[in-house]
Chains A and B, each alone.
Chain A
Amino acid sequence: MARPERSNSSNQKATNAPLQAWAVNHLRTFIGSLGFLSRNALSSFMTIAVIAIALALPAGMYVLVGNLNTVSDGWDNSARISLFLKSGVNTDQARQLADKLEKYSSIAEVKLITSDQALQEFTRSSGFGEALKALGSNPLPNVISLLPVINSQKPGQMQGLLNELKNLPQVELAQLDLQWVKRLYTMLEIANRAIWIIASLLGIAVLLVVGNTIRLDIQNRREEIEVTKLIGATNAFIRRPFLYTGFWYGLGGGILAWILTSLAIMMMDDDVSRLSSLYNSSFQLAGLGFSATLNMIFGSCLLGLGGSWLAVSRHLHEIEPS
Chain B
Amino acid sequence: MIRFDNVSKRYPGGHEALSGLSFHLPRGKLAYLTGHSGAGKSTLLKLVALIERPSRGNIILDGVNLANVGNRKVPYIRRNIGVIFQNHHLLYDRPVFDNVALPLVIAGYTHREIGKRVRAALDQVGLLNKERAEPITLSGGEQQRVGIARAIVHKPPLLLADEPTGNLDPELSLEIMQLFARFNQVGVTVLIASHDLALIEQMGAPMISLKQGMLVRDGVKETIHGQA
Contacts and interface: CB of A to CB of B under 8 A. Distances in A.
Partners in one complex: yes
Interface of A: 1-8, 10-11, 13-15, 17-18, 20-22, 24-25, 28, 223-224, 226-235, 237, 320-322
Contacts of A230: 49, 51, 78, 83, 89
Given A3-B186, A230-B83, A231-B103, 17 more contacts: A2-B124, A4-B124, A4-B152, A6-B188, A11-B154, A13-B113, A15-B107, A18-B108, A20-B108, A22-B108, A24-B110, A227-B91, A230-B49, A231-B106, A232-B106, A232-B107, A234-B76
A235 B108 CA distance: 14
Nearest to B108: A21
Contacts of A25: 105, 108
Contact of A231 (B83, B123, B183): B83
Given A223-B91, A233-B75, A321-B51, A14 B188 contact: no
A interface SS class: helix
Given A2-B120, A4-B186, A4-B188, A231 B109 contact: no
Q: Which of B103, B106, B155 has the most CB of A within 10 A?
A: B106
A124 B108 CA distance: 83
B126 A1 contact: yes
B78 A232 contact: yes
Contacts of B75: 229, 232-235, 237
A14 B89 contact: no
A230 B82 CA distance: 9
B109 A24 contact: yes
B166 interface: no
A114 B113 CA distance: 94
Contacts of A321: 51
A25 B102 CA distance: 12
B107 A21 contact: yes
Contact of A14 (B102, B109, B124, B126): B109
